[in-house]
Amino acid sequence: MSEVDPEHLEAARVLFARQATFMLGCAKIEQLPEPDLPEIAFAGRSNVGKSSLINALVGMKGLARASNEPGRTREVNFFDLDGKLRLVDLPGYGWAKASKGEVKRFQNLGRDYLRGRVTLKRVYLLIDARHGLKAVDTEALDALDLAAVSYQIVLTKADKLKKGEGERMREATLKAVSKRPAAFPEVALTSSEDGDGIPELRAAIMTATGVEP
């Protein structure tokens, strides 16, 4: 990733050190909170590390429930960063154990949210750095391009890779999305386990949302 100015990194650290709280979980579109703060949303397959990434960003282990059980997050979960910014944990896709009807319901909820949310500044689409983009992810990318929602790819679990593999996956992923209209032309590489790439992602979020610390 391009070098980030140390002052910008520090400002982002200060922003994300603010008090983060769970706001609410929505199972229906009618339950969404008023769109009165800038929002960023995290999307991706079940188990890709959405909840862990939110926890890592705000430096709180237990905030977003991180679990080994795929598909436990069936709601759109809203986290408030001290009245400055909202972080939104979207329902995971690719959940094998869910019934077709259930899958549809989560997908529709996610899609309704993505389409109509005026305060949504950017979606972070998480991809497991070991596996790269899969067919099911391509569907999600298509949906985001169609909805014209600006999104950035975040590769997760970088700690599971050998040295050099992360950079290669980053380049390959960037190339794969380069022609997509709503894709941000940078791919982040992160580990919620050891914190690699987290300060840089905080800085990128600050820029994308225009939120000041």
Ligand X SMILES: Nc1nc2c(ncn2[C@@H]2O[C@H](COP(=O)(O)OP(=O)(O)O)[C@@H](O)[C@H]2O)c(=O)[nH]1
CA atoms within 13 A on the CB side of 68: 0
160 is a contact residue toward ligand X (CB under 6 A):
yes
Binding segment for ligand X (CB under 6 A), chosen from 12-20, 63-71, 107-115, 165-173, is 63-71
Structure-block tokens of residue 194: 């050891």
159 is a contact residue toward ligand X (CB under 6 A):
yes
Per CB under 5 A, contacts with Mg ion among 36-65 are 50-51
| Among positions 15, 39, 57, 73, the unique one binding ligand X when judged by CB under 6 A | 73
- Binding-site partner at residue 49 among Mg ion, ligand X, none, CB < 5 to 8 Å by type: ligand X
97 is a contact residue toward ligand X (CB under 6 A):
no
Phi, psi of 67 (to 5 degrees): -140, 155
What track of x and - describes contact with ligand X for positions 180 through 209 (by CB under 6 A)? -----------xxx----------------
Check: CB of residue 24 under 8 Å from CB of residue 86: no
Measure the CA–CA gap between 61 and 54, rounded to whole angstroms: 9
77 is a contact residue toward ligand X (CB under 6 A):
no
- Binding-site partner at residue 133 among Mg ion, ligand X, none, CB < 5 to 8 Å by type: none
52 is a contact residue toward ligand X (CB under 6 A):
yes
Closest by CA to 133, choosing from 202, 96, 187, 91, is 187
**Helices in 59-192 by DSSP H: which ranges?**
100-116, 135-147, 165-177
Q: How many amino acids of this chain bind ligand X (CB under 6 A)?
A: 20
Cβ-based nearer residue to Mg ion, 73 or 209: 73
For 13, the enclosing helix (H) or strand (E) is helix 6-16
- Binding-site partner at residue 152 among Mg ion, ligand X, none, CB < 5 to 8 Å by type: none
Closest by CA to 155, choosing from 126, 193, 196, is 126
Measure the CA–CA gap between 139 and 128, rounded to whole angstroms: 16
Check: CB of residue 53 under 8 Å from CB of residue 126: yes
73 is a contact residue toward Mg ion (CB under 5 A):
yes
List residues near ligand X by CB under 6 A.
Answer: 44, 46-52, 66-68, 73, 92, 156-157, 159-160, 191-193
List residues near Mg ion by CB under 5 A.
Answer: 50-51, 73
